[in-house]
Amino acid sequence: MNHLHWSIISTALLLLIAAPHPTTAQTTPNDPVTNVVELRCGSHGFVNVSQAQMYFPATIQAVYEKVKSVGFGVANTGTGPDAAYGLAQCFDYLTKVQCDLCFSKLRSVGPRCLPMTTGRVYLDGCFVRVENYTFYAEALGPKDRAWCGNTTTGGPSFVAAVKQAVADAVSAAGANVGHEGNGKVVDRRGRSSSAYAMATCWRTLNASGCSECLRNASAAAAGCLPWSEGRVANTGCFLRYSDTDFLNNGTSTTRSSSGHKTVKVVAVGCSVAAVGLGVIIGIIIYKRNRAIQDRRKGLTKVSKMIISVLKKSSLNFKYSMLEKATGSFDEANKLGEGGFGTVYKGVLADGREVAVKRLFFNNRSRAMDFFNEVRLISSVEHKNLVRLLGCSCLGPESLLVYEYLPNKSLDRFIFDEEIGNVLDWEKRFKIITGTAQGLAHLHENPKARIIHRDIKASNVLLDSKFQAKIADFGLARSFEEDKTHVSTAIAGTLGYMAPEYIAHGQLSEKADVYSFGVLVLEIISGRQNCRSITSEHSQSLLTLAWNHFQTGTAEDLIDPNIKSLQHREQMLRAVHVAFLCMQECPNLRPSMSVCLQMLLRAEEPLPAPTNPPFTDELTMEFDFEGDSERLLSETSSSATSVATMMYSAFYPR
C-alpha cells in the first residue's frame, strides 16, 4: 500500500475516532478546561522498571474506562513498591467531550514527572493522581497551595461577591461529597463585581475529610483577594474563583447520575440579556448540528474510500481471521506485553505463523501510534528490521500483523542466567552488529530519516538463526534531512533515553545511538540497566561499568556465560564503543554507520570517551543550554542541573 493510501486511511480513521456524539457540544483543543494549574511530582524512582512498565499503563487505562462513563475512577495494579494506585476526576460542569479532552491532556502532561513513580496533575477541568500506596482518604498535604493572579484586581464589592460565591460553592460541595458546588454572584447595579466559584472534593473522601479540605481551601482562596483569579489545589479537593464565567457561561451541564450534583446559584438576571442569550444559543445549536451533519456526510465518503483501498491491499487482514488465528487472543498464545499492546502468536488458515500485536487503546492518540507504526515500517525494508505483514483497522480494535520470530526477544536470553549460555559471544556480537546495521539503515534511509526512540533488549527480536531484527515502531519519528533535531514529547523507556532528550525533548539520531550504547553493555554484561535498588548506595549498570572502564577492570563486567580469552579484546572494544555512544554531548557520539565500523575494524584505534552524563542511580546531571562548545572541548562533563522527568503519558513501554 502506498503512502497516499495510508495517509487517507489514517486521517479518516482519526476523524472517526474524534467525531463528537451528536448530543454533546464541540470543544476546541484550546478549551480552558485543559489549562494546567500544577504538575506535582514525587521524589522516589521506580524499584523495578519492568514491573512498573506493566502496572502503570494498566492502572491508567482502568481509570480512564471509568472516567469515560461516570467522570470519575480509581484503580490499582500490582503489589509491592512499584504498585500503581490511580485516581482521576472530571468536574461536574464539564460536558462528556470536555471531560475526554481534559483527561487526554492529563495523560500528556503526567509523563513529565518520570522517572519519579508518583505525580499529580491539576487542570481547570479535571485531576489525576498516581501513587505507589493507597492515598484515597487523604484530605490535606504539605504541598497544598493556592495560585493567585490574573491581570486585574477588584474593589470591596468584588471581594464581597467572591466571598459569597466561594461560601455558596463550598456549602454545596460539602453537602454532597464528591460533586462540586458552584457559586455565582452578580452585582445588581451592573458594576464589575460579578464573581464565579466552584469547589469539589475527590469522591474517595468522607464527609469530615471533605469538610476539612474545603475549609482550608476557602481560607487559602481568601488570601488571594482582591486578585481577580484564585485557585487552590489541595490533596483532597480543588477550589477556584474568577471574575469571568468559566462555568459554561453560567449553564450547568452535569456528567454524573441524577441526584449526585448539588449547585447553588445566586444571580440576578436581565430579561433582555436572557432573550439575547437564547438567540445566541439557538444559533450555536443550529450551526453545531449543521456541522455534525456535514461531517457525517464527509466521513461516509471517506469510510467508503478506506474500505475500497483496504480490500485491494495485500496488507488488509479481517479482524475475525486474526481473532481465530490467535484462539480469540488466548493467554496461552501470548508472546509478550508492553506499554502500548500485547503480542500473540497466531496461525493463519494457510498454516503461516504470525505475531499479532493487539493495541491497548482505541482512542485518537493511540490511533496516531498505530498508523505511525504502519506507515514507517512499511516504508523501509532491511534484514535487521522486523517485517510487517499487514494490519486490521476496521474491526473493534486495531491489530498489527508481523512475521513470527521463534526465538522471541533478546531480553529473555541475556537476563536469564539459566538460558543465557544459549547466546555465546559469536551470537551476541552478531546481534550487536545486526542491530547497528538496522539502525544505520533507519537513520540513513533516503526516503525519510527514521528515529526509533525505544531501542532496548525487548524490542530486538531473534529469528531461528538468532539474527537480530528491530521491532516496535510505535514511537518512531521521521523528519527532514536538513533538520538537526526535532522537539517532541518525551516517550520511551527509563534507562535507555538520552539526556538531551529527557531534559529538553530534543530528538535526533544520536538519541538512538545513546540507547544502543546501553544495549551493548547489557548484552556484554548480562545485566539490565534498570533500578532494583536495595540500598541508597546501589549503583546502576552504567555507573558500575564506567568505574570498571576507568580503572582498567572492564573485563569484570563480562557475563560469565560468555567469558573467553579468545574473544577478550573484541569484548573490551565493544565496551569502549558503547561508552563512545553514551557520551553526554550528542555531537560527540558517532553515527550508527561509524559505530558499526568501529566494531568491525579491530585494527583501528578508538578515541577516549568523555564522561557519561550520569553520576548516580537517582540523578542525571547535565546542562545543554549553550554548552555544546564547552562539551566538545572538555574531556569530562560538569554537572550543573538535575533533570527529573516522567514518561509517555504515564505510559512506560
Query: Which residues participate in the annotated binding site for ATP?
Result: 357
Q: What angle do CA 513, 518, 520 make, to 5 degrees?
A: 90
Burial degree of 200 (CB within 10 A; 0-12, 13-18, 19+): buried
Alpha helices in 71-122 (DSSP H): 96-109
User: Rounded CA gap, 373 and 370, in Å?
Assistant: 5
User: Rounded CA gap, 203 and 214, in Å?
Assistant: 13
User: Rounded CA gap, 640 and 615, in Å?
Assistant: 12
User: Rounded CA gap, 201 and 177, in Å?
Assistant: 6
- For residue 199, what are the contacts with CB-CB under 8 A and spacing of at least 6? 166, 169, 170, 172, 173, 180, 181, 214, 217, 218, 237, 238, 239, 240
User: Rounded CA gap, 644 and 116, in Å?
Assistant: 7
User: Rounded CA gap, 184 and 147, in Å?
Assistant: 20
Select from 146, 304, 125 the least CA-distant residue to 230. Answer: 146
Other CB atoms within a 10 A radius of the CB of residue 643 amount to 17
Residue with cell 453545531: 288
Q: How many residues are present in the chain?
A: 653
Query: Before 396, cis peptide (omega within 30)?
Result: no
Residue numbering of the annotated binding site: 357
Which are the catalytic amino acids?
454
| Distance from the Cα of residue 423 to its chain's centroid | 34
Take residue 359 and report the three cell numbers written for it. 493495541
Extended strands (E) in 202-360:
227-233, 237-242, 334-337, 341-347, 353-359
User: Rounded CA gap, 122 and 106, in Å?
Assistant: 8
Nearest 10 degrees: CA dihedral of 170, 175, 178, 183?
-40
Other CB atoms within a 10 A radius of the CB of residue 445 amount to 15
Instruction: Put residue 527 in one of left, alpha, beta given phi > 0 → left and psi -120 to 50 → alpha.
Output: beta
